[in-house]
Amino acid sequence: MAARFEYAQAEEIRDVLGRHGVRYLFIGKSGAILLGFPDTTQDADLFVEKSPENGRAAVCALRELGFDLSDTEAEQIVRGKDFVQLKNGPYDLDLVFAPDGIETFAEAWQTHLDVEGFPVCSLDHIIASKAATNRVKDRESLPRLRAFRDYWERTHRSGG
């Protein structure tokens, strides 16, 4: 049974990936939750910049976090395989190198939000990615995510 992903785990990811210089963004529901979206998730989703150097740094950071990466998983991360799902560590972690609905990491980075040191994809990009995946669970969460985005924009862009 998967445990719920917790804020302390997000802090650990932020701190260790930061020490290793990994370029990434929290995406998906874990990203929305860091922005205040009232929900829970079973895993963290990270949009990782695709480059061999960044992949090697990510492998080192993940091993420091306690992930028991196989040689195949390490190679997939260095290569930047579109999607790498890790269930061999202290919590479940999905690494996404090519999320649906987002053209490039550089595009997402331009509009990302920094929340208490957490690099988070913009809500527009989180919503675009969920809409593009077209999974039932994502389609069901889209109205709530869009309503949250509207609320977030009203409360954060009006100076309050």
Supply the CATH number for residue 54's domain.
Answer: 3.30.460.40
Summarised one tens digit per residue, pLDDT across range 45-101 is 999 999 999 999 999 999 999 999 999 999 999 999 999 999 999 999 999 999 999
1 is a domain residue: no
Distance, CA of 70 to CA of 98 (rounded, Å) = 21
74 is a domain residue: yes
Q: Say which residue, 40 or 66, is predicted with more confidence.
A: 66
14 is a domain residue: yes
Q: What integer pLDDT is reported at residue 43 of this predicted model?
A: 87
In the numeric block, which tokens belong to residue 85?
A: 């799902």
Number of domains the chain contains: 1
Distance, CA of 152 to CA of 121 (rounded, Å) = 14
Helix 7-19 crosses helix 52-65 at what angle (to 10 degrees)?
130
2 is a domain residue: no
| Residue matched to tokens 């079973």 | 42
Q: Say which residue, 158 or 72, is predicted with more confidence.
A: 72
pTM: 0.93
